A and B are shown apart, each in its own frame.
Chain A
Amino acid sequence: MMIQRRWTSIIGVLALLTPVAACSSAPDGTVINLYGGASGLGFDKIIDDCNQQAAGRYTIVGNLLPSDADGQRDQFVRRLAAKDDGMDLLGMDVTWTAEFAEAKWIRELTGDQKAQATKDTLQPPIDTATWKDKLYGVPRTTNVQLLWYRKSLVPTPPKTIDEMISMAQQLKAQGKPYEIGFTAAQYEGYVVNVNNLITAYGGTLVNEDSSAPTIDDKTVQALTLLHKLSTSGVTSASLSNAQEPEVFADLQAGRSAFSLNWPYVLSSMREANPELVDDLGYAPYPSVDGSPPKVTLGGMNYAISTYSKHPEESFEAAMCMRNEKNALSAALDGGDVPALATVFELPEFKKAYPMADVMMTELEAAVPRPVSPVYQNISTLVSTTLSPPQSINPQKAADKLRDSIRDAIDGKGIVP
């Protein structure tokens, strides 16, 4: 009886374990686990191509991450803090470099690897992969926002934000579509806009080595302009809930005359509303005084986890996934702006991205977001303090930001 019962329990345990074993249908040999960017449109093609080139030395496996940047970072930091060796190649948002490097979660690229990673690469993306003069990532994509507008409504695109506001007000008075679309929900994308305005006045949020906040009257001026923009009656009713998809939808539905958004708008609009594509114009992001804009850099870099057991292969895989051919294919299929200067010269790219020249001009003057190990905290503080944009009190908000950023840098701050 006893023996029989024991056997039953052993069989039970085995039965429980079997499905677990069956689940791990990973390929044999060295596996490079890629996290981030793997779900992009047409990206499986790139992974297949690189796996073929590796000829069995390693296999890249693309893993899914949450769709929003905050959720992605949550998963990265949790697993990296736990020294998880199941992550090899990290597709990192450009704002995470300082934090991950400072926490010693990602490997520095030196010598030959550094030379390879920066060859033919645009300087602004290299800057986003650099912390304290050390390179921590292979620049993969970059990004700058543009001003999209409806050519039939706006004969000449505005050069300044004030000009844009008055144009929109005129359109409104004439009963035409008039809205200015931009992201102002309480999230990272709003911080990009805030930063665009602050840099337009020549201001910053933190200093070079991220040891102190640098909020001054330039910030106050920028916040005054933001307040004006959001209260002049020419924005969407759900402005304070608008993320990129909502901004895009407003343009697609014909409510927006102006839209401040990333370059993906053109390729997405070809699918979403082909009739509108011919009417869609693009221009540099409006500035304060009509001078060339200094916009916030977006994009993504590949970093190699400190806990990866295959750093060499991971580097090779990263270089393959962003080589000229694959960067072009990501740009055409997924709307990812390449970090390689050479791709900008390719005829296929120029055809799909007629606005490439405008982007290049913006890229040359673009600035990274506040470079700081506590960027996440700063970003949260900025978006919370300034939300909703309609009720900003510029001077008060600037003072509050200065105090809370200082606390965040000192490690005393509370994240809301």
Chain B
Amino acid sequence: MTITPTSAAVAAEDQFEDGTLQIARQRHTDAKRAERKLGLMLVAPAVVIMTAVAAYPILYAFWLSLNKADLRRPDANEFIWFDNYITVLSSPIWWTAFGVTMLLTVVGATLELALGMLLAIVMHRTIVGRGLVRTSALVPYAIVTVVAAFSWRFAWTQGIGWLAPSDSAPLTEFWPSIGIIILAEVWKTVPFMALLLMAGLALVPEDLLKAASMDGANAWKRFWMVTVPLIKPAILVALLFRTLDAFRVFDNIFVLTSGSNKTSSVSMVAYSNLIRGLNLGIGSAMSVLIFLTVGIIAFLFIKLFGAAAPGSDAGRR
């Protein structure tokens, strides 16, 4: 009931200054509207450019995927609804490639995380020659993937390479090829992983670790109970980036096996159909499916580890 006098006072004030307030409010909304308008005008160029470079190709790809569109038979184009998707999704070639891609992604990202963490700790803890250690660790990431892939291919070619066994050709068989592709991917991206994780490690306060040590926690416990929870956001960002990247793997496979012996990834199969086979309909359907899968992976990551996702409040530092 203590409110009543206050409200009464406000009401009186309102009555008294009604006109002035009205004008003030009006001015306020006008200014807001103008500001909004200015804001829209300022972002408009960016929106237009984004639409042109991102939205248009995606929508066009989706449109193509609903058509029978083969560049070699320009007269036979027709709208066929979702037939291309049915063709792709009922093809064992697509599902083999999907399985291979998933395998590469999961195994690759896991190995990269483990080795990247190891490398990050080494780089973080090194006292002597810190710059040298960090620089040399980054070399694989600095080499162009295609160039590195060629080196790997020659290294594993019988009779030429120093890694190849003399009585077999590992790049002609499925499992050895997969192993070599994973090796090449891991070798290339561990430094990237380590770099992101090292940024996380730099944020762990030494005092906390010292305190834990005083409490009798050994090195493993300190790492597991103190460091890991603190750098969780860095781990998840690194993992998200690598998972999305790994799912789109193309260049290593293109050079190492060019997809023979069922080692194609989904991107590789899409390339074969789109660029090599000139079947725009099928190829676009595959591209849309890859796009959706990448979207789902990103969504799951953000949903499951929401707090740590880049851009969300808790993850921002």
Contact = CB atoms under 8 A, between A and B. Distances in A.
A74 B87 CA distance: 24
A237 B159 CA distance: 12
B168 interface: yes
A186 B261 contact: yes
Interface in A96-139: 99, 102-104
Interface string B243-280: 00000000000000001111010000100110111110
Given A238-B172, A387-B260, A415 B273 contact: yes
A206 to B, nearest CB: 16
A64 to B, nearest CB: 18
Chain B interface size range: 20 to 34
A347 interface: no
Given A241-B172, A387-B260, A412-B87, A102 B73 contact: yes
B68 to A, nearest CB: 6
A209 B262 CA distance: 31
A342 to B, nearest CB: 36
Nearest to A383: B260
Contacts of A10: none
B171 interface: yes
Interface in A33-85: 70, 73-74, 77-78, 81
A175 interface: no
A31 B310 CA distance: 54
A91 to B, nearest CB: 19
B152 to A, nearest CB: 15
B47 interface: no
B71 A237 contact: no
B84 to A, nearest CB: 9
Contact of A416 (B167, B168, B171, B264): B264
Interface residues of A, number: 30
Interface in A365-416: 373-374, 376-377, 380, 384, 387-388, 411-412, 414-416
A75 to B, nearest CB: 10
B282 A414 contact: yes
Contacts of B72: 77, 99, 102-103, 373-374
A81 B70 CA distance: 10
Contact of A415 (B167, B172, B277): B277
B93 interface: yes
Interface string A212-250: 000000000000000000000000011011000000010
A414 B260 contact: no
Given A103-B74, A373-B72, A414 B93 contact: yes
A240 B260 CA distance: 11
Interface string B50-78: 00000000000000000010111110100
Most chain A C-beta atoms within 10 Å of own C-beta, residue among B72, B169, B259, B278? B72
Contacts of A416: 93, 259, 262, 264, 269, 272
5 contacts: A77-B71, A77-B72, A238-B169, A241-B169, A377-B277
- Sort A-B residue pairs by CB-CB distance and give the 3 closest, nearest first: A186-B260, A238-B169, A103-B72
Interface of A: 70, 73-74, 77-78, 81, 99, 102-104, 185-186, 237-238, 240-241, 249, 373-374, 376-377, 380, 384, 387-388, 411-412, 414-416
Given A186-B261, A249-B159, 13 more contacts: A70-B276, A73-B276, A77-B71, A186-B260, A237-B167, A241-B171, A377-B277, A411-B279, A414-B87, A414-B94, A414-B273, A415-B277, A416-B259
